[in-house]
Amino acid sequence: MNMRANLRIDNARVLDVYSGEIADMPVCVREGRILGFSRLEADETVDAGGAFLLPGLIDAHIHLESSMLCPACFAQAVLPRGTVTVIADPHEIANVKGTAGLAYMLEATRQLPLDVRFMLPSCVPALPVEDAGASLSAEDLLPWLDSPRVAGLGEMMNVPGVLNGDAELMAKARAALDRGKKVDGHSPGLSGQSLDAYIAAGISTDHECSTVEEMQERIRRGMYVLLRESTASRDLLRLLPGVTPANARRCLFCSDDLHPAEILENGHIDHHLRLAVAAGLDPVSAVRMATLNAAECYGLIDKGGIAPGRVADMILVDNLRDFRVRAVWAAGRLVAGNGRMLEALPPVDDAAMRGSVRLAPLPAHPFALRIPGGKARVIRLLPRSLITGHHVRTVNVTADGFFDCALNPGLVKVAVLERHHATGKIGVGLLDENYGLQGGAIATSVAHDSHNLVVVGDNDDDMRLAVEETARLGGGVVMAADSRILAALPLPVAGLMSDRDAEETADAMRELLRLARVHFHIREEFDALMALSFLPLPVIPHLKITARGLFDVDVFRFVHIAAP
Amino acid sequence: MNMRANLRIDNARVLDVYSGEIADMPVCVREGRILGFSRLEADETVDAGGAFLLPGLIDAHIHLESSMLCPACFAQAVLPRGTVTVIADPHEIANVKGTAGLAYMLEATRQLPLDVRFMLPSCVPALPVEDAGASLSAEDLLPWLDSPRVAGLGEMMNVPGVLNGDAELMAKARAALDRGKKVDGHSPGLSGQSLDAYIAAGISTDHECSTVEEMQERIRRGMYVLLRESTASRDLLRLLPGVTPANARRCLFCSDDLHPAEILENGHIDHHLRLAVAAGLDPVSAVRMATLNAAECYGLIDKGGIAPGRVADMILVDNLRDFRVRAVWAAGRLVAGNGRMLEALPPVDDAAMRGSVRLAPLPAHPFALRIPGGKARVIRLLPRSLITGHHVRTVNVTADGFFDCALNPGLVKVAVLERHHATGKIGVGLLDENYGLQGGAIATSVAHDSHNLVVVGDNDDDMRLAVEETARLGGGVVMAADSRILAALPLPVAGLMSDRDAEETADAMRELLRLARVHFHIREEFDALMALSFLPLPVIPHLKITARGLFDVDVFRFVHIAAP
């Protein structure tokens, strides 16, 4: 009983998420777990100098791939920010690489001090009409579900499938529930009887609320609601007025998708805490949302609090307003301090994830667009939104009926090229002047959810050049102008992730975004690249484009560019 | 999507435990689960007349056997009180019948509308020095742990074993934790470093707090605390001041041990609700403690709230002060109304549990007590307490050194007879005048935890008669006076449970307790029978008696009745 500790932290104000109190007491750690609060002899002692000791932060829902960082570099970016656990849905890489992608993500995170738990992607591909790199059946997922690092089934985006009791989807949900694991939801705008039916399928979370009403309706029906603050969708402050002392235990934080520059500049879940507390949420409730609530929701029984037997994930912060992270212990080991990692994270073999861009040889005129009638369906990109406009325009065409940008100032071409199986499928469409691009082309292999190759441009030559360079790099973002490469961010890992660290990747991204404004004149209101990355996602209204052509989401079918 | 409901409840004020709100909305049920809150067509509709609809109540910790009722009769008693789920630790029957007892309890509850989940008894026997009917090793428990109706491992009463890392105990805990199941605690008085170590073994609840300080210390260390209101230990109102808005989510209700008359007169978890609300707890927090919190604690993911997909366990109460239960639905079926069951519960084959009292033939003088020196260790029973006094008295003995009650007015004999394996072990001791018994003998086969046969009396003849009648009945409580049987409550099922219903059993108990006062003159402050039933439990201070003799709990060893 006279146990010796490996570590004792003295002089800390310990935030106890269970009682909601803050107590001055020593915290002892042994073999990676909390031993207790007695002043035991210890191999090492740390004087916290009166700072606040909190449980390690938990991001309840994230697609790691969206950071464009490999798992180790992602860990290096977020650990110094206090995130010690993330619930990751690897559905981007699964759309490219299927179960090999899952295997890579599990392996690449196995040895990290960041504790990565997985929700298996439930909807790969997002729709049957997609040309993804892989599809994942219930049978494919089954062997992965028993892993202790798999917490359940990822967001059920196929809402109609759930409501219609699609057998394959239900089999996936059943398999998770039968193992006592969770099923994440994704039901923006769903309400009333349909929402009831969706939840009754065993779905227990939603991170897609954008109004207090949506949030309240879900909490009342037994869901956990994740307050999301992502690069694409800033929901936290919109939802915060809906958090009450009575329902806060059902509220969590998540980042969903974060660009690397955003992590470096704003932070991660520490940023959520700052935002929430600055907006008036009491700090203890905020910390519980970032720790205990997430642990309870996902069944992480030995995480989420500083208490005997729990994994010793702890962070030291100066105060409960700025949440500046001074020190981070992951499973009892000091891994980061004052904003920097204290150790290098070893690289992982990613050979199987490389060379994922397999394009068929381009034809002579891959982007030729014949609209003999001169009336075209046109996509309008909207700033700060994934929703697009759909309208019909009269366009000028050549004598033989071809669209030419030179004849239609402001309109630009957009194309999606199947890039997983070299099938040669190319869908071509038009964007209106709202986006504002001129003077070249931009291509990217990050394009939800199938991650085919998207290119936009005001001339076919630069479009071809950007596509070919993206393929040569094995994926990435490429800008071409005046028949030369202007800038590029290589994303060789599945065409989604960089092999560089967060700083380098963020710098490259910033440069691309700068060029988008100064060279391509894309309107400042747009995140120029993210707007492109969501253009092919045929589950968001109204008009989208895939490698099979234009997709009218409102009527849920492909439509011809030539309007009647 | 235009689903038809089996049942729709209209005009109810639905208590939503997730948001803490009360909402007027219809509730639809289909195939035993909540469908949702739309006004669907239904096979049957119920007008709730503005009453409050709550989730079915959950007792977070109970030993069913202590009600002296078979599971079906227990269910008939508590369902009309609103209890729809209990977490039961069958450690009484396990001490008598081992795994056969577990099998019986699982089988006898399998078809009940009461949802009985089990915590496998962790400490059978309570101590190695006990003569229980069976012992349960980690290996014995293993096959039962995977049952979906087993929620984990029952109360870890062997605190020194936990603190010393006893291999067998740790193997039991590990087996439960590895399956994501819970381990219940039992750590009265434990504090500081020892409590830390106890919790760090993976123990997540305690129902033995009797002070706010004990409760707070446990909640701060991540435990769930069960506020107990049992026949033997009334802790609820003592602990209630420790429940705060910030920690209420970690608080639950439990009854632990309840006599049948108490259920009929006071109620069950509905009684806890009345007590707590009358004492000032807000009703929504109280209902959460009786529903959602217990479901969360024990991982009952589809219980504890009225929400889509959850099991349709619901109760209708007039108001949130009296909690008078008007109607009870278990898994969507109306099973009780206005205090009465609406259906009979079929009997279960209990043949294997009968004939459990196996005494060796009694010797000529089974209760002879030789104290030649005339100084004896004497047990003092204390009213409303399981703790006993231990003192040394000068007693009058016969010429050949034998104790005789006739020579020592006020002192009575107590004996414990091994009754499982007919070993003939008999321990004999003395009770002082505090208990007050005179005029005969009382015997019982309910005697924690080994459930050997206990008898007290002021003459050896009545003691023998009471013992022999108890054995003849196959267990029970028997009173003998003037060489005849005065009254008896047969408990033929494992010597613990009646085969009659709650009313008959309660009536018999009431008659026994009346006779204890009017015939045997036992002081009113005592629950005359419960005091006897805890006399052999050698884990509660200070002096106890087992079939092997007197046990001094303070020094943790057997002692001779003759004091030096």
The interface predicted TM-score of the complex, written ipTM, equals 0.93
3-state secondary structure of A271: helix
Nearest CA to CA, how far is B18 from chain A (Å)?
Answer: 6
B246: closest chain A residue by CA: A20
Closest to B520 measured CA to CA, from B429, B471, B459 = B459
CB pairs under 8 A between A and B: 141
Whether residues B193 and A1 touch (CB distance < 8 A) is answered with: yes
Nearest CA to CA, how far is B507 from chain A (Å)?
Answer: 43
Q: Is B16 on the interface with A (CB under 8 A)?
A: yes
The answer for A 164-193 residues in CB contact with B (under 8 A) is 164, 180, 192-193
Low-confidence ranges of chain A (pLDDT < 70): 1-2
Whether residues B246 and A23 touch (CB distance < 8 A) is answered with: no
Whether residues B307 and A35 touch (CB distance < 8 A) is answered with: no
| Nearest CB partner across the interface for B200, out of A194, A202, A309 | A309
Distances (CA, A) of A426 to A365, A366, A470: 11, 7, 16
Closest to B103 measured CA to CA, from B86, B87, B120 = B120
B288: closest chain A residue by CA: A246
Nearest-angstrom CA–CA distance, B61 and B243: 19
Q: What is the maximum alpha-carbon separation in chain B?
A: 92
The answer for B 132-171 residues in CB contact with A (under 8 A) is 163
Q: Is A278 on the interface with B (CB under 8 A)?
A: no
Q: Is A308 on the interface with B (CB under 8 A)?
A: yes
Q: Is A38 on the interface with B (CB under 8 A)?
A: yes
Q: Is A249 on the interface with B (CB under 8 A)?
A: yes
Q: Is B292 on the interface with A (CB under 8 A)?
A: no
Q: Using CB atoms within 10 A of its CB, is residue B443 exposed (0-12), middle (13-18) or buried (19+)?
A: buried
Distances (CA, A) of B277 to A127, B212, B315: 52, 18, 18
Q: Are A476 and A490 in contact (CB under 8 A)?
A: yes
Whether residues B307 and A40 touch (CB distance < 8 A) is answered with: no
Closest to A280 measured CA to CA, from A216, A237, A251, A224 = A237
Residue with tokens 């001055």: A24
Q: Are A197 and A166 in contact (CB under 8 A)?
A: no
Instruction: Please tell me whether the peptide bond between A125 and the residue prior to it is cis, using omega within 30 degrees of 0.
Output: yes
Q: Is B4 on the interface with A (CB under 8 A)?
A: no
The answer for B 192-231 residues in CB contact with A (under 8 A) is 192-202, 204, 216, 219-223
Q: Are A490 and A473 in contact (CB under 8 A)?
A: yes
Nearest CA to CA, how far is A320 from chain B (Å)?
Answer: 17
Q: Are A74 and A285 in contact (CB under 8 A)?
A: no
| pLDDT value at residue B2 | 61
- Average pLDDT for runs of 10 along chain B of length 564: 88 98 97 97 98 98 97 97 98 97 97 98 90 96 96 95 95 96 95 97 96 97 97 93 97 96 96 98 98 98 97 98 98 96 91 97 97 96 89 96 96 98 98 96 96 98 98 98 98 97 96 97 93 91 96 93 93
Q: Which two tokens stand for residue B420?
A: 């499982």
Contacts of B297 in chain A (CB under 8 A): none
Q: Is B20 on the interface with A (CB under 8 A)?
A: yes
Q: Is B305 on the interface with A (CB under 8 A)?
A: yes
Distances (CA, A) of B201 to A140, A314, B146, B353: 37, 20, 21, 34
Whether residues A309 and B163 touch (CB distance < 8 A) is answered with: no
Closest to B141 measured CA to CA, from B165, B110, B173 = B173
Contacts of A143 (CB under 8 A, 6+ apart): none
Angle (CA) A41 A43 A49, round 5°: 80
Distances (CA, A) of B491 to A440, B90, B463: 91, 16, 19
Q: Is A309 on the interface with B (CB under 8 A)?
A: yes
A223: closest chain B residue by CA: B18
Angle (CA) B90 B467 B428, round 5°: 90
The answer for A 310-339 residues in CB contact with B (under 8 A) is 310
Contacts of A21 in chain B (CB under 8 A): 220, 246
3-state secondary structure of A35: strand
| pLDDT value at residue B286 | 98
Side chain identity, residue A164: N
DSSP state of B80: G
| Nearest CB partner across the interface for A196, out of B37, B219, B247 | B37
Nearest-angstrom CA–CA distance, B485 and B439: 12
Q: Which two tokens stand for residue B549?
A: 């003799």
Q: Is B299 on the interface with A (CB under 8 A)?
A: yes
Q: Is A247 on the interface with B (CB under 8 A)?
A: yes
Whether residues A200 and B34 touch (CB distance < 8 A) is answered with: yes
Nearest CA to CA, how far is A216 from chain B (Å)?
Answer: 8
Contacts of B309 in chain A (CB under 8 A): 199-202, 222
DSSP state of B66: G
A292: closest chain B residue by CA: B222
pTM for this prediction: 0.95
Contacts of B284 in chain A (CB under 8 A): 246
| pLDDT value at residue A441 | 98
Nearest-angstrom CA–CA distance, B29 and B209: 39
Q: Where are the beta strands (DSSP E) in A469-556?
A: 476-481, 484-490, 543-546, 549-552
DSSP state of A282: -
pLDDT digits (tens, 9 = 90+) for A447-480: 999 999 999 999 999 999 999 999 999 999 999 9
Contacts of B23 in chain A (CB under 8 A): 220
Nearest-angstrom CA–CA distance, A330 and A318: 18
Side chain identity, residue B278: A
Look at the alpha carbons of B382, B388, B393, B399 in this order and tell me if their dihedral is positive or negative.
Answer: positive
pLDDT digits (tens, 9 = 90+) for A513-531: 999 999 999 999 998 998 9
Whether residues A299 and B244 touch (CB distance < 8 A) is answered with: no
Instruction: Select the residue from A1, A2, A18 to test the B interface by mutation, using most B Cβ atoms within 10 A.
Output: A18
Whether residues A246 and B284 touch (CB distance < 8 A) is answered with: yes
Instruction: Select the residue from B24, B221, B243 to test the A interface by mutation, using most A Cβ atoms within 10 A.
Output: B221
Q: Which two tokens stand for residue B275?
A: 């007590």
| pLDDT value at residue A2 | 60
Contacts of B301 in chain A (CB under 8 A): 180, 204
Nearest CA to CA, how far is A192 from chain B (Å)?
Answer: 7
| Nearest CB partner across the interface for B180, out of A163, A180, A193 | A180
Contacts of A247 in chain B (CB under 8 A): 18-20
Q: Using CB atoms within 10 A of its CB, is residue A52 exposed (0-12), middle (13-18) or buried (19+)?
A: buried
| pLDDT value at residue A126 | 86
Whether residues B220 and A18 touch (CB distance < 8 A) is answered with: yes
| Nearest CB partner across the interface for B299, out of A180, A204, A250 | A180
Q: Are B324 and B340 in contact (CB under 8 A)?
A: no
Distances (CA, A) of A427 to A235, A289, A408, B35, B528: 33, 44, 20, 43, 87
Nearest-angstrom CA–CA distance, B106 and B85: 14
B40: closest chain A residue by CA: A193
Q: Are B549 and B464 in contact (CB under 8 A)?
A: no
The Cβ of residue A193 has, within 10 Å, a number of other Cβ atoms equal to: 20
Q: Are B258 and B268 in contact (CB under 8 A)?
A: yes
The Cβ of residue B356 has, within 10 Å, a number of other Cβ atoms equal to: 23
Instruction: Select the residue from B14, B174, B193, B194 to test the A interface by mutation, using most A Cβ atoms within 10 A.
Output: B193
